[in-house]
Amino acid sequence: MTPAEVDEVWSRWRSGQAVKVLSREMRRHPTTVRDLLKRCGGIRPRPRTRPPLRLSLGEREEISRGLAAGLSLRAIATGLGRAPSTVSREVERAGGRDADRALDADAAAWAAACRPKQCKLAAHPRLRAVVQDRLREDFSPEQVAGWLVRQFPDEPEMRVSHETINRSLFVQSRGALKKELTQHLRTRRAMRRPAGKRLPDGRGNRLHELTISDRPAEVEDRAVPGHWEGDLVFGRGMSPVATLVERSTRFVMLVALPEGHKSELVVDALAAKIQTLPAALAKTLTWDQGNEMSLHARFTVATGVQVYFCDPKSPWQRGSNENTNGLLRQYLPRTLNFRTLTQADFDAIADKLNTRPRQTLGFRTPSEALDEVLR
Protein backbone atom coordinates (compact mmCIF):
# COMPACT_ATOMS: atom_id res chain seq x y z
CA MET A 1 0.00 0.00 0.00
CA THR A 2 1.07 3.56 -0.62
CA PRO A 3 1.89 5.82 2.36
CA ALA A 4 -1.41 7.64 1.77
CA GLU A 5 -3.32 4.35 1.93
CA VAL A 6 -1.51 3.33 5.09
CA ASP A 7 -2.50 6.67 6.67
CA GLU A 8 -6.10 6.09 5.62
CA VAL A 9 -6.13 2.58 7.11
CA TRP A 10 -4.93 3.84 10.47
CA SER A 11 -7.34 6.75 10.40
CA ARG A 12 -10.32 4.49 9.67
CA TRP A 13 -9.13 1.95 12.26
CA ARG A 14 -8.86 4.64 14.93
CA SER A 15 -12.38 5.84 14.10
CA GLY A 16 -13.72 2.38 14.95
CA GLN A 17 -14.28 0.88 11.51
CA ALA A 18 -14.03 -2.90 11.25
CA VAL A 19 -11.36 -4.41 9.01
CA LYS A 20 -13.92 -5.80 6.58
CA VAL A 21 -15.69 -2.45 6.28
CA LEU A 22 -12.60 -0.33 5.75
CA SER A 23 -11.01 -2.84 3.36
CA ARG A 24 -14.19 -2.92 1.27
CA GLU A 25 -14.41 0.87 1.14
CA MET A 26 -10.72 1.14 0.25
CA ARG A 27 -10.99 -1.68 -2.31
CA ARG A 28 -8.30 -3.70 -0.60
CA HIS A 29 -8.33 -7.35 0.43
CA PRO A 30 -9.11 -7.75 4.17
CA THR A 31 -6.00 -9.90 4.64
CA THR A 32 -3.80 -7.07 3.35
CA VAL A 33 -5.29 -4.64 5.83
CA ARG A 34 -5.31 -7.12 8.70
CA ASP A 35 -1.65 -8.02 8.14
CA LEU A 36 -0.70 -4.34 8.28
CA LEU A 37 -2.51 -3.93 11.60
CA LYS A 38 -1.27 -7.19 13.12
CA ARG A 39 2.38 -6.39 12.39
CA CYS A 40 2.05 -3.48 14.78
CA GLY A 41 -0.38 -5.11 17.21
CA GLY A 42 -3.07 -2.60 16.28
CA ILE A 43 -0.89 0.25 17.56
CA ARG A 44 0.27 2.71 14.93
CA PRO A 45 4.05 3.22 15.02
CA ARG A 46 5.15 6.76 15.63
CA PRO A 47 5.98 8.29 12.22
CA ARG A 48 9.66 8.98 11.73
CA THR A 49 10.69 12.61 11.33
CA ARG A 50 14.01 14.26 10.55
CA PRO A 51 15.36 16.36 13.45
CA PRO A 52 15.68 20.01 12.43
CA LEU A 53 19.36 20.19 13.43
CA ARG A 54 20.34 17.34 11.10
CA LEU A 55 21.47 17.92 7.52
CA SER A 56 18.69 17.71 4.95
CA LEU A 57 18.91 16.15 1.50
CA GLY A 58 19.06 19.63 -0.02
CA GLU A 59 22.02 20.58 2.17
CA ARG A 60 23.85 17.39 1.26
CA GLU A 61 23.30 18.20 -2.41
CA GLU A 62 24.81 21.65 -1.81
CA ILE A 63 27.82 19.99 -0.16
CA SER A 64 28.19 17.64 -3.11
CA ARG A 65 28.03 20.52 -5.62
CA GLY A 66 30.50 22.57 -3.57
CA LEU A 67 32.99 19.67 -3.54
CA ALA A 68 32.60 19.24 -7.30
CA ALA A 69 33.33 22.96 -7.75
CA GLY A 70 36.50 22.66 -5.66
CA LEU A 71 35.30 24.86 -2.77
CA SER A 72 36.84 24.46 0.66
CA LEU A 73 34.86 22.83 3.44
CA ARG A 74 34.81 26.12 5.34
CA ALA A 75 33.38 27.96 2.32
CA ILE A 76 30.69 25.31 1.85
CA ALA A 77 29.82 25.52 5.57
CA THR A 78 29.55 29.31 5.38
CA GLY A 79 27.18 29.08 2.44
CA LEU A 80 24.96 26.62 4.32
CA GLY A 81 25.11 28.50 7.60
CA ARG A 82 26.55 25.39 9.26
CA ALA A 83 29.65 24.81 11.37
CA PRO A 84 32.72 23.73 9.35
CA SER A 85 33.03 20.65 11.60
CA THR A 86 29.53 19.56 10.56
CA VAL A 87 30.47 19.62 6.89
CA SER A 88 33.84 18.00 7.59
CA ARG A 89 32.27 15.05 9.43
CA GLU A 90 29.67 14.63 6.68
CA VAL A 91 32.35 14.42 3.97
CA GLU A 92 34.44 12.05 6.08
CA ARG A 93 31.47 9.73 6.63
CA ALA A 94 30.86 9.66 2.89
CA GLY A 95 34.42 8.49 2.21
CA GLY A 96 36.10 11.76 1.28
CA ARG A 97 35.77 14.42 -1.42
CA ASP A 98 35.80 12.01 -4.34
CA ALA A 99 33.28 9.55 -2.85
CA ASP A 100 30.61 11.96 -1.59
CA ARG A 101 27.17 11.40 -3.16
CA ALA A 102 24.20 13.30 -1.72
CA LEU A 103 21.51 10.60 -2.21
CA ASP A 104 23.67 7.80 -0.86
CA ALA A 105 24.80 9.87 2.11
CA ASP A 106 21.24 10.89 2.97
CA ALA A 107 19.98 7.30 2.75
CA ALA A 108 22.81 6.09 4.97
CA ALA A 109 22.13 8.82 7.54
CA TRP A 110 18.38 7.98 7.57
CA ALA A 111 19.17 4.30 8.15
CA ALA A 112 21.76 5.04 10.85
CA ALA A 113 19.24 7.19 12.70
CA CYS A 114 17.27 4.00 13.56
CA ARG A 115 18.64 3.23 16.98
CA PRO A 116 15.83 1.25 18.64
CA LYS A 117 15.86 1.60 22.38
CA GLN A 118 15.30 -1.55 24.39
CA CYS A 119 12.01 -1.37 26.29
CA LYS A 120 12.08 -1.53 30.08
CA LEU A 121 10.72 -5.07 30.33
CA ALA A 122 13.37 -6.39 27.95
CA ALA A 123 16.14 -4.65 29.88
CA HIS A 124 15.06 -5.77 33.39
CA PRO A 125 14.72 -9.59 33.66
CA ARG A 126 13.48 -9.53 37.26
CA LEU A 127 10.72 -7.05 36.48
CA ARG A 128 9.80 -9.00 33.35
CA ALA A 129 9.53 -12.24 35.35
CA VAL A 130 7.23 -10.66 37.93
CA VAL A 131 5.02 -9.11 35.23
CA GLN A 132 4.76 -12.41 33.38
CA ASP A 133 3.85 -14.21 36.61
CA ARG A 134 1.04 -11.74 37.37
CA LEU A 135 -0.27 -11.91 33.82
CA ARG A 136 -0.44 -15.70 34.11
CA GLU A 137 -2.64 -15.13 37.17
CA ASP A 138 -5.06 -13.25 34.88
CA PHE A 139 -4.16 -9.77 36.15
CA SER A 140 -4.80 -7.09 33.56
CA PRO A 141 -1.83 -4.86 32.58
CA GLU A 142 -3.34 -2.00 34.57
CA GLN A 143 -3.78 -4.23 37.61
CA VAL A 144 -0.18 -5.41 37.28
CA ALA A 145 1.10 -1.82 37.17
CA GLY A 146 -0.91 -0.83 40.24
CA TRP A 147 0.05 -4.00 42.11
CA LEU A 148 3.75 -3.38 41.52
CA VAL A 149 3.53 0.05 43.16
CA ARG A 150 2.02 -1.49 46.29
CA GLN A 151 4.26 -4.56 46.31
CA PHE A 152 7.59 -2.76 45.72
CA PRO A 153 7.11 0.73 47.24
CA ASP A 154 10.87 1.32 47.71
CA GLU A 155 12.08 -0.10 44.38
CA PRO A 156 11.44 2.32 41.50
CA GLU A 157 13.11 -0.07 39.08
CA MET A 158 10.29 -2.56 39.76
CA ARG A 159 7.61 -0.29 38.27
CA VAL A 160 6.27 -0.20 34.75
CA SER A 161 3.27 1.49 33.17
CA HIS A 162 0.32 -0.52 31.89
CA GLU A 163 0.89 0.99 28.45
CA THR A 164 4.40 -0.47 28.32
CA ILE A 165 2.98 -3.89 29.25
CA ASN A 166 0.28 -3.59 26.59
CA ARG A 167 2.73 -2.59 23.90
CA SER A 168 5.11 -5.40 24.86
CA LEU A 169 2.23 -7.86 24.50
CA PHE A 170 0.81 -6.56 21.25
CA VAL A 171 4.02 -5.45 19.48
CA GLN A 172 6.05 -8.65 19.38
CA SER A 173 9.03 -6.98 17.73
CA ARG A 174 9.84 -5.57 21.17
CA GLY A 175 10.78 -9.09 22.21
CA ALA A 176 9.91 -8.61 25.91
CA LEU A 177 6.76 -10.64 26.63
CA LYS A 178 5.60 -13.87 25.03
CA LYS A 179 2.63 -13.68 22.71
CA GLU A 180 0.94 -16.57 24.55
CA LEU A 181 0.36 -14.25 27.52
CA THR A 182 -2.37 -12.47 25.55
CA GLN A 183 -4.49 -15.57 26.27
CA HIS A 184 -4.59 -14.44 29.90
CA LEU A 185 -6.07 -11.06 28.99
CA ARG A 186 -9.77 -10.61 29.49
CA THR A 187 -10.45 -10.30 25.75
CA ARG A 188 -7.69 -12.76 24.69
CA ARG A 189 -6.94 -10.43 21.78
CA ALA A 190 -3.51 -10.40 20.20
CA MET A 191 -4.10 -6.96 18.71
CA ARG A 192 -5.30 -3.74 20.29
CA ARG A 193 -8.64 -2.49 19.11
CA PRO A 194 -9.70 1.15 19.27
CA ALA A 195 -12.21 2.20 21.87
CA GLY A 196 -15.62 2.89 20.41
CA LYS A 197 -19.19 3.56 21.36
CA ARG A 198 -21.57 0.66 21.68
CA LEU A 199 -25.29 0.99 21.18
CA PRO A 200 -27.34 0.44 24.32
CA ASP A 201 -28.95 -2.99 24.52
CA GLY A 202 -32.37 -2.21 25.85
CA ARG A 203 -34.92 -4.94 26.32
CA GLY A 204 -38.11 -2.99 25.83
CA ASN A 205 -40.46 -1.17 28.17
CA ARG A 206 -42.18 -2.84 31.04
CA LEU A 207 -44.13 -1.45 33.95
CA HIS A 208 -42.30 -1.77 37.25
CA GLU A 209 -43.30 -1.06 40.78
CA LEU A 210 -40.14 0.88 41.61
CA THR A 211 -37.69 2.50 39.19
CA ILE A 212 -34.11 3.57 39.78
CA SER A 213 -35.27 7.12 40.51
CA ASP A 214 -37.02 5.75 43.62
CA ARG A 215 -33.82 4.22 44.95
CA PRO A 216 -32.47 5.61 48.29
CA ALA A 217 -29.89 8.38 47.98
CA GLU A 218 -27.31 6.38 49.96
CA VAL A 219 -27.03 3.95 47.06
CA GLU A 220 -25.56 6.56 44.73
CA ASP A 221 -22.37 7.48 46.60
CA ARG A 222 -21.35 3.83 47.21
CA ALA A 223 -20.34 4.68 50.78
CA VAL A 224 -22.75 2.17 52.37
CA PRO A 225 -22.35 -1.53 51.53
CA GLY A 226 -25.23 -3.88 50.87
CA HIS A 227 -26.57 -2.46 47.61
CA TRP A 228 -26.31 -4.89 44.70
CA GLU A 229 -26.63 -4.79 40.92
CA GLY A 230 -27.73 -7.86 39.02
CA ASP A 231 -28.13 -9.28 35.53
CA LEU A 232 -28.14 -12.49 33.53
CA VAL A 233 -25.20 -13.54 31.35
CA PHE A 234 -25.80 -16.11 28.62
CA GLY A 235 -23.61 -18.75 27.03
CA ARG A 236 -24.12 -21.15 24.16
CA GLY A 237 -27.69 -22.34 23.71
CA MET A 238 -28.99 -19.48 25.86
CA SER A 239 -27.55 -21.13 28.98
CA PRO A 240 -27.78 -18.53 31.77
CA VAL A 241 -25.97 -17.55 34.95
CA ALA A 242 -27.04 -14.75 37.29
CA THR A 243 -24.45 -12.18 38.34
CA LEU A 244 -24.63 -10.05 41.49
CA VAL A 245 -22.16 -7.21 42.16
CA GLU A 246 -21.96 -5.21 45.39
CA ARG A 247 -21.67 -1.53 44.49
CA SER A 248 -19.22 -0.29 47.13
CA THR A 249 -16.73 -3.21 47.10
CA ARG A 250 -17.34 -4.67 43.57
CA PHE A 251 -17.64 -8.08 45.23
CA VAL A 252 -19.24 -10.51 42.79
CA MET A 253 -21.40 -13.59 43.30
CA LEU A 254 -22.52 -15.99 40.58
CA VAL A 255 -25.73 -18.00 40.78
CA ALA A 256 -26.13 -21.13 38.66
CA LEU A 257 -29.42 -21.50 36.74
CA PRO A 258 -29.24 -25.03 35.31
CA GLU A 259 -32.99 -25.24 34.69
CA GLY A 260 -33.38 -22.01 32.73
CA HIS A 261 -34.21 -18.36 33.29
CA LYS A 262 -37.92 -18.28 33.88
CA SER A 263 -38.84 -15.72 36.50
CA GLU A 264 -39.77 -18.17 39.26
CA LEU A 265 -36.48 -20.04 38.80
CA VAL A 266 -34.40 -16.86 38.82
CA VAL A 267 -36.00 -15.19 41.85
CA ASP A 268 -35.86 -18.38 43.92
CA ALA A 269 -32.18 -18.97 43.10
CA LEU A 270 -31.29 -15.34 43.82
CA ALA A 271 -33.26 -15.35 47.07
CA ALA A 272 -31.40 -18.46 48.26
CA LYS A 273 -28.07 -16.78 47.48
CA ILE A 274 -28.94 -13.45 49.10
CA GLN A 275 -30.13 -15.17 52.26
CA THR A 276 -26.59 -16.49 52.83
CA LEU A 277 -25.38 -12.90 53.39
CA PRO A 278 -25.30 -10.94 56.66
CA ALA A 279 -28.28 -8.60 57.01
CA ALA A 280 -25.96 -5.59 56.69
CA LEU A 281 -25.04 -6.72 53.18
CA ALA A 282 -28.59 -7.27 51.87
CA LYS A 283 -30.40 -3.97 51.34
CA THR A 284 -31.33 -3.32 47.70
CA LEU A 285 -31.00 -4.89 44.26
CA THR A 286 -30.91 -2.96 40.98
CA TRP A 287 -31.91 -4.95 37.88
CA ASP A 288 -32.31 -4.19 34.20
CA GLN A 289 -35.44 -4.47 32.05
CA GLY A 290 -35.35 -8.26 31.82
CA ASN A 291 -38.60 -10.15 32.38
CA GLU A 292 -36.77 -12.70 34.51
CA MET A 293 -37.45 -10.42 37.50
CA SER A 294 -41.17 -10.01 36.83
CA LEU A 295 -41.77 -11.84 40.13
CA HIS A 296 -39.63 -9.32 42.04
CA ALA A 297 -42.30 -9.02 44.74
CA ARG A 298 -41.82 -12.70 45.54
CA PHE A 299 -38.08 -12.09 45.83
CA THR A 300 -38.61 -9.10 48.16
CA VAL A 301 -40.96 -11.07 50.44
CA ALA A 302 -38.41 -13.89 50.73
CA THR A 303 -35.36 -11.71 51.37
CA GLY A 304 -36.53 -8.27 52.50
CA VAL A 305 -34.42 -6.80 49.66
CA GLN A 306 -36.23 -4.20 47.55
CA VAL A 307 -35.73 -4.44 43.78
CA TYR A 308 -35.30 -1.32 41.63
CA PHE A 309 -35.37 -1.36 37.84
CA CYS A 310 -33.22 0.67 35.45
CA ASP A 311 -34.67 2.90 32.78
CA PRO A 312 -35.04 1.35 29.30
CA LYS A 313 -31.85 1.29 27.21
CA SER A 314 -29.74 2.54 30.12
CA PRO A 315 -27.19 -0.15 30.98
CA TRP A 316 -24.84 2.46 32.49
CA GLN A 317 -27.24 2.73 35.43
CA ARG A 318 -25.81 -0.65 36.47
CA GLY A 319 -22.25 0.26 35.56
CA SER A 320 -20.50 -1.98 38.09
CA ASN A 321 -22.50 -5.00 36.96
CA GLU A 322 -21.97 -4.28 33.25
CA ASN A 323 -18.23 -3.93 33.81
CA THR A 324 -18.09 -7.15 35.80
CA ASN A 325 -20.05 -9.01 33.12
CA GLY A 326 -17.38 -7.98 30.66
CA LEU A 327 -14.64 -9.26 32.99
CA LEU A 328 -16.50 -12.56 33.37
CA ARG A 329 -16.33 -13.22 29.63
CA GLN A 330 -12.68 -14.15 30.16
CA TYR A 331 -13.92 -17.22 32.04
CA LEU A 332 -17.42 -17.56 30.61
CA PRO A 333 -17.18 -17.03 26.83
CA ARG A 334 -20.33 -17.02 24.74
CA THR A 335 -19.27 -20.30 23.13
CA LEU A 336 -19.38 -22.15 26.46
CA ASN A 337 -22.52 -24.00 27.57
CA PHE A 338 -23.02 -22.84 31.15
CA ARG A 339 -25.17 -25.87 31.91
CA THR A 340 -21.98 -27.93 31.96
CA LEU A 341 -20.78 -25.95 35.00
CA THR A 342 -21.76 -26.48 38.62
CA GLN A 343 -22.27 -23.92 41.36
CA ALA A 344 -18.79 -24.85 42.63
CA ASP A 345 -17.35 -23.93 39.23
CA PHE A 346 -19.11 -20.55 39.32
CA ASP A 347 -17.91 -19.95 42.89
CA ALA A 348 -14.32 -20.59 41.77
CA ILE A 349 -14.69 -18.09 38.92
CA ALA A 350 -16.18 -15.50 41.28
CA ASP A 351 -13.26 -16.08 43.65
CA LYS A 352 -10.87 -15.38 40.76
CA LEU A 353 -12.41 -11.95 40.20
CA ASN A 354 -12.72 -11.19 43.91
CA THR A 355 -9.00 -11.74 44.46
CA ARG A 356 -7.84 -9.61 41.53
CA PRO A 357 -6.87 -5.97 42.35
CA ARG A 358 -9.14 -3.26 40.95
CA GLN A 359 -8.11 0.26 40.04
CA THR A 360 -11.36 1.72 41.34
CA LEU A 361 -10.55 0.25 44.77
CA GLY A 362 -7.02 1.66 44.85
CA PHE A 363 -5.77 -1.70 43.58
CA ARG A 364 -7.21 -3.54 46.55
CA THR A 365 -9.15 -6.67 45.78
CA PRO A 366 -12.96 -6.85 46.22
CA SER A 367 -12.40 -9.47 48.94
CA GLU A 368 -10.11 -7.08 50.83
CA ALA A 369 -12.62 -4.24 50.45
CA LEU A 370 -15.44 -6.46 51.72
CA ASP A 371 -13.41 -7.57 54.73
CA GLU A 372 -12.78 -3.94 55.63
CA VAL A 373 -16.47 -2.99 55.64
CA LEU A 374 -17.35 -6.06 57.70
CA ARG A 375 -14.87 -5.30 60.47
pLDDT tier, 267 (very low <50, low <70, confident <90, very high otherwise): very high
Long-range contacts of 179-188 (CB under 8 A, 24+ apart): 181/132, 181/135, 181/136, 184/135, 184/136, 184/137, 184/138, 185/135, 185/140, 185/141, 185/330, 186/140, 186/326, 186/327, 186/329, 186/330, 187/329, 187/330, 188/330
360-367: average pLDDT? 95
Least confident of 87-91, 118-122, 220-224, 361-365: 118-122
Per-residue pLDDT band at 201 (split at 50, 70, 90): very low
Residue 102: predicted pLDDT: 83
121-168 tens-digit pLDDT: 888 889 989 999 999 999 999 999 999 999 999 998 999 999 888 888
To the question of pTM greater than 0.85 for the whole model, the response is no
Q: What is the pLDDT of residue 207?
A: 45
Quote the DSSP letter at residue 99. Answer: T
Q: What is the radius of gyration, based on Cα positions, of the chain? A: 30
pLDDT of the residue at 338: 96
198 has a pLDDT exceeding 70: no
With beta carbons less than 8 A apart as the criterion, state whether 151 and 139 touch. no
Per-residue model confidence (pLDDT) at position 360: 92
pLDDT digits (tens, 9 = 90+) for 178-188: 778 878 888 77
Cα angle 189-195-198, degrees, rounded to a multiple of 5: 105
pLDDT above 50: residue 106 = yes
Q: Please provide the average confidence, as pLDDT, over all residues in the chain.
A: 87
Could you tell me which residues are beta bridge partners of residue 245? 229, 252
Q: How far apart are the first and last CA of the chain?
A: 62
Give mean pLDDT, residues 192-219: 64
- Can you tell me the distance from the alpha carbon of 31 to that of 10, in angstroms, rounded to the nearest whole number? 15
Inform me whether the pLDDT recorded for 169 exceeds 50: yes
pLDDT interval class at 170 (50, 70, 90): confident
Quick check: helix, strand or coil at residue 364?
strand
Q: Averaging pLDDT over each range in 49-63, 153-167, 322-336, which range is the top one?
A: 322-336
Instruction: 369-374: list long-range contacts, CB under 8 Å, 24+ apart.
Output: 369/248, 369/249, 369/250, 369/251, 370/225, 370/246, 370/249, 370/251, 373/225, 373/248, 373/249, 374/278, 374/280, 374/281
**Which tens digits make up the pLDDT trace of 213-227?**
899 988 998 988 999
Q: What local confidence, expressed as pLDDT, does residue 205 receive?
A: 40
> Comparing C-alpha atoms, which of 163, 160, 135 is closest to residue 148?
160
One DSSP character per residue, 269-283 reads: HHHHHHTTS-GGG-S
pLDDT confidence of residue 196: 57
Average the pLDDT over 180-207 and give the result.
61
- Give the range among 73-87, 177-191, 237-251, 345-359 with minimum mean pLDDT: 177-191
| pLDDT in the model for residue 232 | 96
Instruction: Give the number of other CB atoms < 10 A from CB of residue 82.
Output: 17
Cα angle 195, 328, 144; round to 5: 70
DSSP 218-282: GGTT--SS-EEEEEEEE-GGG-EEEEEEETTT--EEEEE-TT---HHHHHHHHHHHHTTS-GGG-
What does 27-82 look like in DSSP terms, one character per residue? T--HHHHHHHHHHTTT-PPPPP---TTSPPHHHHHHHHHHHHTT--HHHHHHHHT-
Q: What are the phi and psi torsion angles at 125 (to 5°)?
A: -60, -40
Question: What pLDDT, on a 0 to 100 scale, did the predictor assign at position 204?
Answer: 41
| More confidently predicted of 313 and 276 | 276
Task: Single out the residue of 363, 325, 328 nearest to residue 349, CA to CA.
Answer: 328
pLDDT band at 44 (very low <50, low <70, confident <90, very high): confident
SS3 1: coil
- How many angstroms separate the Cα of 123 from the Cα of each of 73, 98, 99, 148, 176? 42, 43, 40, 17, 8
Cβ atoms of residues 328 and 353 within 8 Å: yes
Q: Which residue has the higher pLDDT, 144 or 51?
A: 144
Sign of CA dihedral 273, 215, 325, 328: negative
